[in-house]
Amino acid sequence: MNQPERDAELWRYVEAVRPRIERALLSHLPFAPAPVDPRFNEALRYALFPGGKRLRPVFTLLGAELVGGLHINVLRAATAVEYIHTSSLIFDDLPCMDNAAERRGRATLHKAFGEGLAILVALALMNASYGLVFDLDSAKHQYMIQAHGELVSCIGTNGMVTGQTVDLSPGNGGSNTALYDGHEAVRNLKTSALIRLALRLGAILSGAEARQLSALSDFAGLVGEAYQISDDVLDLTEDAALVAGARRATLAAERGAQDARLRIDSMTARAKEILVVEFGESRPARVLCQIADYIAGREA
């Protein structure tokens, strides 16, 4: 199968599952009761729709498929993942964080609805995500408890909170080999933690074994870091002024786009190898490998 055919398979999959994801996102939105300022509910909708390719909830569905699970049993968890992702973007965009004015071609939430309401919407989405991993109709309580722990770990100091803290830290710029080893991995905790959560939630709720979960963690870590380095390459090629004013050096800025892309290609190849060794050439493994290739080769 050539590259265009592989890409077509990936996007056919996304097109097939996305309507289910969109319906689930809408059906679980934590709307405020009627007497509350209606702008809160408007802001919720604004934050979630339109919302990009929905690759993170797609990861959750694929994680379930890899271990023999069904989409219907993990749609709530996939919704939780997208709520967490959206809340993280809202927080990232705030004036006290990245101070972004636009996202996906339109005003960021705090620009459109005010900073206070944006924070409340982000908190509401994050809060709603905790309950979505529990399904009262399911008898597999141990899986749900494990999934809840996974979610807490992703958001906390083992994941997104520390990743954002590193982004805010002054200094640590300049040439530093450690930046591209352990420290660069810490900087990418936000990205890698969310991909790891997305993949593992679907697998956990579908009864995955420890060995399978370990392989998914390794895959997610490599793909997450490749994604972040790819972002850095795009920054380097699209906005030299942005890179020059960045708080810290990145692999792309320090060593150039060519070296960075070699690192991306190496990580992507290793991630795909890990996945195929553990799960074979099944359809979900194939689609995940294609997502890894898409991340490695993206140009925007």
Residue predicted with more confidence, 290 or 244: 290
Give 143's pLDDT tier (boundaries 50, 70, 90).
Answer: very high
Q: Among 62-71, 100-109, 162-171, 267-276, name the one with the lowest average pLDDT.
A: 162-171
* Cis before 50? omega within 30: yes
Flag whether pLDDT at 107 surpasses 80: yes
Out of 81-95, 136-150, 161-175, 225-239, pick the least confident: 161-175
Q: What digits encode the pLDDT tens for the residues 183-231?
A: 455 556 788 899 999 999 999 999 999 999 999 999 999 999 888 888 7
> What is the DSSP-derived secondary structure letter of residue 178?
G
Amino acid 51: pLDDT:
76
Least confident of 91-100, 256-265, 268-277: 256-265
Query: pLDDT class for 232, splitting at 50, 70, 90?
Result: confident
Q: Which band of pLDDT confidence, cut at 50, 70 and 90, is reported for residue 178?
A: very low
The full set of domain ranges for the chain reads 3-297
Coil, strand or helix: which one is 89? Answer: helix
Confidence label for 240 from pLDDT (cuts 50, 70 and 90): low
**Domain 3-297, CATH 1.10.3720.10 — does that match?**
no
pLDDT of 235: 66
CB burial string 19-55: b at 16+ within 10 A, e below: eebbebbeebbbebeeeeeeebbebbebbbeebeebb
Q: Is the pLDDT of residue 84 over 70?
A: yes
The pTM for the full model equals 0.88
Highest mean pLDDT among 28-32, 180-184, 259-263: 28-32
Among residues of the chain, what percentage have pLDDT more than 70? 82
Please, which residues have CB within 8 angstroms of residue 133's CB and are 6 or more apart in sequence? 76, 77, 80, 144, 147, 148, 151, 201, 205
Across residues 47-57, what is the average pLDDT?
91
